[in-house]
Chain A
């Protein structure tokens, strides 16, 4: 029987009087790999922020791992890779190890001290992403690709059951991008991690995700790629050529 990881019912979000999301209802089940796509300003990042509890809904309800959102406390089950990785201060005097360690603190109770097993977990994660050699480098000394890997390590260090990726590969070269997506595929297939991948790249989303959530303030389509690719209503909405672009790599 499918297990609901995320359940969204009649979700509405307004910024002042502007409508960002309008009556969204959908479920994400365990081991789903959902591609969240839509045009600029369609509410993708707003939806991600709502799932992470960063934005308060104007209406509707959400449950995460079966718990109503306001009461949800098990944030270590959720790994998050934010879109704006350059929004931090590049002169921040933290090392790569320190930044990756920040991913672990959602698992810790007050006063959130790290122990030896945490240090081992950090080392293992750095090795897995091939960045162990830069562990003691300052964050401001890294290239865009290295920085992105550090944030990926921070997002995955807890072995989260739900991974939310907001435009994760923008700073990565093709090889690292391919490695990143094979890692996600492995986590999805072998460890049954649930993944929500936000992307603008509709041409390649079918390569990675098993489900498509097309958003434009409201849900235009939510379902499997197979359903999307044969849907006449979607063909009318997007036009045959756009539908083909989304589907051709699936």
Chain B
């Protein structure tokens, strides 16, 4: 089957549209999170999302409606733990993450074990997303990108040097809360595409790939977005044409791009030295 024929399928069109928006969304947030050494917050919140999906399935409400408030509250919980309990971000993420997965396992066990629905959230499937999911992805991505556009310099200053940013009159607590809440919503959306297990890959890999070559913060965001978009497109095409799982294909393409950029950087610095 050629690409043209493939693009005629409505489910492929939905996957590509939603995937593009979520790809850019993850790339932009990923750059901020990786630079703030909060790379694994995506992973931690995805585990909370797993617990929330289990809760939604037990209570027979849409997993999305259960996940968004719970994951958002958990993201703020991570911030509070870092501020008030005086622990590093990785430990705070670890606490919330394990609590989320433990809650999910307990709920699944009380409901009579894991079922197909819960498993579908573990590994995701972009090829099965609905028109409603596409609209939600576009809406949320647009909001996040607008927030980053309007707060660009606040975010850059805070990410580079929090103390100096505060001394410049930037409201660090507000910006930090906005970033983690946006991450929470993004994780819930991304879960549908690559699943709980691989969500953090979409946040981390495009960002670290961009850092291999980017010369400037703005350029890093643009390159990470391009890498992420390419990975989602290539992953979906690979998945459809070779009958592979979509989420895993997207992550593998992402990793290959990282490996390529990493090698290019190595070659460039060797040539420079010579």
Binding site for B on A (CB under 8 A): 52-54, 73, 75, 78, 80, 82, 87-89, 91-95, 98-99, 101-103, 105-106, 108, 110-114, 136, 138, 154
Contact = CB atoms under 8 A, between A and B. Distances in A.
A136 B154 CA distance: 21
Interface string B214-227: 11111110000000
Interface residues of B, number: 30
A75 B168 CA distance: 6
B150 interface: yes
Secondary structure class of chain A's binding surface, majority of residues: loop
Interface stretch (B17-25, B61-69, B122-130, B159-167): B159-167
B119 interface: no
Closest 8 CB pairs of A and B: A106-B168, A75-B169, A111-B150, A52-B167, A93-B220, A112-B153, A105-B153, A93-B214
A53 B166 contact: yes
A88 B160 contact: yes
Interface of B: 35, 37, 149-154, 156-157, 159-161, 163-170, 210-211, 214-220
Q: Is the interface of B mostly helix, strand, loop or mixed?
A: helix
23 contacts: A52-B167, A53-B167, A73-B169, A80-B164, A80-B167, A87-B161, A88-B161, A89-B37, A89-B160, A92-B159, A93-B35, A93-B214, A93-B216, A93-B220, A98-B216, A101-B153, A102-B157, A102-B160, A102-B161, A102-B165, A111-B152, A114-B153, A154-B164
B213 to A, nearest CB: 9
Contacts of A75: 167-169
Contact of B217 (A78, A80, A94, A106): A94
Nearest to A73: B169
Given A73-B169, A89-B35, A138 B215 contact: yes
